[in-house]
Amino acid sequence: MNYALVTGASRGIGSAIAKRLAKDHGYKIIINYNSNEAAAKATLSEIEAAGGEGVIMQFNVANKAEVDNAITKFYEDNPEAVIEVLINNAGITKDNLFVFLEQEDWSNVLDVSLNGFFNATSAIMKKMVRKRYGRVVNIVSVSGVKGVPGQANYSAAKGGVIGATRSLAQEVAKRNITVNAVAPGFIETEMTEALPKEELIKLVPANRFGTAEEVAHAVSFLVSKEAGYITGEVLNINGGIHS
Ligand code: NAP
């Protein structure tokens, strides 16, 4: 059975990606979450209601041992399973102007958004290389492409993932593994709930926030077999914000 692992798939963009990959490509979805088990189960129920399959899997992407243990146990329990697709989606923000930024908020954002990419990808990449096929899509941000004031920590994390995307893409291209990034602008999720929407919309030529489904559509395209010659790319989904 071929699986797609989506980190942070309990809510928001990750949940939309999980549902879309099940529907478009028939993957059995590994729905990772950190703390919100009820939301992860709700994502699974929606996948099943649409005729798809999935499992939920708890781990904190920032904790390498937790990630490794969960993936090792998964392979032990499912010896025939192949994780063909990895979507590194889990991420957090702790916004503040740099002069007020606490060391803890710098480190937490890097631990989840940058080290989380390393932890999840390193847990599955060896098997992917052996299978000589794979799709990795990293959810970054306009913040990592052009920098956003008040987000030096988040911009650093997402910019770091973009660099790693380009590097890893070149390492594994020969094995039919593509590694790309998707960089959303402002998307309607819990992450952006507290932002001053009316003010921010003025920065967006499309005059609206995007939807999680619009991001999921782009991810599904990059995951498709037909997208096999696209690698090391960053696809911006931001309603025309210059980046
Ligand atoms: P969200 O609504 O806040 O959802 C975050 C998801 O990530 C939840 O499923 C959460 O799991 C999971 N998560 C958080 N920390 C985790 C950890 N340590 N380990 C495992 N899972 C963890 O966020 P979103 O807006 O959907 O964002 C998804 C991705 O898109 C992030 O990487 C974000 O940086 C990026 N992005 C978002 C926007 C935007 O405008 N929304 C724009 C650009 C980029 P629990 O439910 O268990 O807490």
Which pLDDT score, from 0 to 100, does residue 242 have? 78
Ligand 1, from 92, 165, 182, 200: best to mutate by most atoms within 8 Å of Cβ? 92
pLDDT value at 147 more than 80: yes
Q: How far is the CA of 174 from the centre of ligand 1 (A)?
A: 31
Give the atom of ligand 1 at the shortest distance from the alpha carbon of 154.
Answer: 34
- Model confidence pLDDT, tens digit, residues 157-168: 999 999 999 999
Compute the distance between CA of residue 51 and CA of residue 154 in angstroms, rounded to an integer. 37
Ligand 1, from 44, 67, 189: best to mutate by most atoms within 8 Å of Cβ? 189
- The answer to whether residues 137 and 222 touch, using CB atoms and an 8 Å cutoff, is yes
Give the atom of ligand 1 at the shortest distance from the alpha carbon of 215.
Answer: 30
Indicate the average pLDDT of the chain. Answer: 97
Question: How far are the Cα atoms of 69, 198, 205, 240 from residue 208, in angstroms, in the given order?
Answer: 41, 9, 8, 10
pLDDT band at 243 (very low <50, low <70, confident <90, very high): low
Which pLDDT score, from 0 to 100, does residue 32 have? 98
Which pLDDT score, from 0 to 100, does residue 162 have? 98
Q: How far is the CA of 155 from the centre of ligand 1 (A)?
A: 15
pLDDT value at 18 more than 90: yes
Compute the distance between CA of residue 65 and CA of residue 71 in angstroms, rounded to an integer. 10
pLDDT value at 63 more than 70: yes
Question: Is 154 a residue of the active site?
Answer: yes
- Model confidence pLDDT, tens digit, residues 188-242: 999 999 989 999 999 999 999 999 999 999 999 999 999 999 999 999 999 999 7
Q: How far is the CA of 131 from the centre of ligand 1 (A)?
A: 29
Residues 19/42/84/190 CA torsion (nearest 10 deg): 70
Q: How far is the CA of 158 from the centre of ligand 1 (A)?
A: 13
Phi, psi of 21, rounded to the nearest 5 degrees: -70, -35
pLDDT value at 15 more than 90: yes
Q: Is 35 in the pocket of ligand 1 (CB under 6 A)?
A: yes
pLDDT band at 114 (very low <50, low <70, confident <90, very high): very high
Options 27, 133, 154, 229, the catalytic residue? 154
Phi, psi of 22, rounded to the nearest 5 degrees: -65, -45
- The answer to whether residues 5 and 87 touch, using CB atoms and an 8 Å cutoff, is yes
